[in-house]
A and B are shown apart, each in its own frame.
Chain A
Amino acid sequence: MSEVNTPNQNLTRRDFLKLTWAVFGGLALLETTGIFLAYLQPRLADGEFGSILNVGTVDKFPPNSVTHITNGRFYIVRLGDGGFLAIYHRCTHLGCTVPWDETQQKFICPCHSSEFDRQGTVKNPPAPRPLDLFPVSIVDGNVMVNTGAPIQRQTYETAQVVYP
Chain B
Amino acid sequence: MNDDIPEPSILDRMRNRLTPDELPTDDRGRMRMVVDSLVLHLHPTKIPDRTLRWTYTWGLGGLAAVLMTILAFTGVILLNNYTPSAPQAYLDILKLNDNVWFGELIRNLHHWSANLLIIIAVLHLIRVFVTGAYRPPRELNWLLGVAMLLLVLGANFTGYLLPWDQLAYWAITVGTGIISYIPLIGNWLTRLILGGPEVSGNTLLNFYSMHIAIIPLIIFGLMSYHFWRVRKDGGLSIPKSLEESETGVEPKMERLTTIPNLVQKELLYTLVWIAVILVFAMLVQAPLEGIANPDISPNPAKAPWYFMGLQEMLLHFHPLVGAIILPGLAITGIILLPFLDINPKNVGVYFRSRRGRALVLLAAGLSLIATPAWVLMDEYLLNWNGWLPTWPSLISNGLIPLAVISLPLILLDDWVRKSFHADTEERVLFIASFLFTAFVVLTIIGIFFRGPGMALYLPWNMPASSH
Contacts and interface: CB of A to CB of B under 8 A. Distances in A.
Given A126-B315, A150-B197, A94 B298 contact: no
Contact of A70 (B295, B315, B452): B295
A95 B198 contact: yes
A110 B173 contact: no
Interface string B140-181: 000000000000000000000000000000100110111010
A97 B296 contact: yes
Given A40-B192, A94-B173, A125-B397, A50 B197 contact: yes
Interface residues of B, number: 36
B432 to A, nearest CB: 29
Interface in A7-52: 37, 40-44, 49-50
Main secondary structure of the interface of B (DSSP, over half): helix
B453 interface: yes
Interface string A95-138: 11111000000000111110000000000011010000000000
B385 interface: yes
B352 interface: no
Contact of B170 (A70, A93, A96, A98): A96
A110 B197 contact: no
A54 to B, nearest CB: 20
B203 to A, nearest CB: 10
A111 B385 CA distance: 19
Contacts of A97: 294-297
B384 to A, nearest CB: 10
B177 A94 contact: yes
A42 B319 contact: no
Interface string B189-230: 001101111100010001000000000000000000000000
B134 to A, nearest CB: 31
B198 A90 contact: yes
Contact of A94 (B178, B294, B299): B178
Contacts of A68: 295
Contact of B299 (A37, A43, A49, A110): A110
Nearest to B298: A110
Contacts of A98: 297
Nearest to A70: B295
Contacts of B397: 125-126
Contact of A110 (B177, B192, B300, B319): B300
Nearest to B295: A70
Given A112-B314, A113-B454, A128-B318, A96 B301 contact: yes
B192 A42 contact: yes
A44 B297 contact: no
Contacts of A109: 297
Contacts of A90: 198
B83 interface: no
A97 B207 CA distance: 22
A42 B173 contact: no
B177 A93 contact: yes
Contacts of A37: 192
Given A41-B192, A96-B301, A110 B393 contact: no
Nearest to A89: B295
Nearest to B193: A40
Contacts of B173: 94-96
A42 B196 contact: yes
Listed residue (A41, A70, A126) with the most chain B CB atoms within 10 angstroms of its CB: A126
B170 A112 contact: no
Interface string A143-157: 000000010000000
Contacts of B176: 95
A125 B378 CA distance: 14
A43 B174 contact: no
Contact of B454 (A40, A112, A150): A112
A152 B178 CA distance: 17
Given A41-B192, A94-B173, A111 B314 contact: no
B13 to A, nearest CB: 51
B299 A111 contact: yes
Nearest to B294: A97
B194 A42 contact: yes
Contacts of B177: 93-95
Contacts of B301: 96, 110-111
Contacts of A125: 385, 393, 397
Contacts of B319: 93-94, 126, 128
Contacts of A50: 196-197
Contacts of A42: 191-192, 194-197, 202
Given A42-B194, A97-B294, 18 more contacts: A40-B206, A42-B196, A43-B195, A50-B196, A94-B177, A94-B319, A95-B176, A96-B173, A96-B301, A111-B174, A111-B300, A112-B453, A112-B454, A113-B455, A126-B315, A126-B318, A126-B319, A128-B393
- Which 4 A-B pairs rank lowest in CB-CB distance, beginning with the nearest? A94-B177, A110-B299, A96-B297, A95-B177
13 contacts: A37-B192, A41-B192, A42-B197, A42-B202, A94-B178, A95-B173, A96-B297, A110-B297, A110-B298, A110-B299, A110-B466, A112-B454, A126-B397
Interface of A: 37, 40-44, 49-50, 68, 70, 73, 89-90, 93-99, 109-113, 125-126, 128, 150
Interface of B: 170, 173-174, 176-178, 180, 191-192, 194-198, 202, 206, 294-301, 314-315, 318-319, 385, 393, 397, 452-455, 466
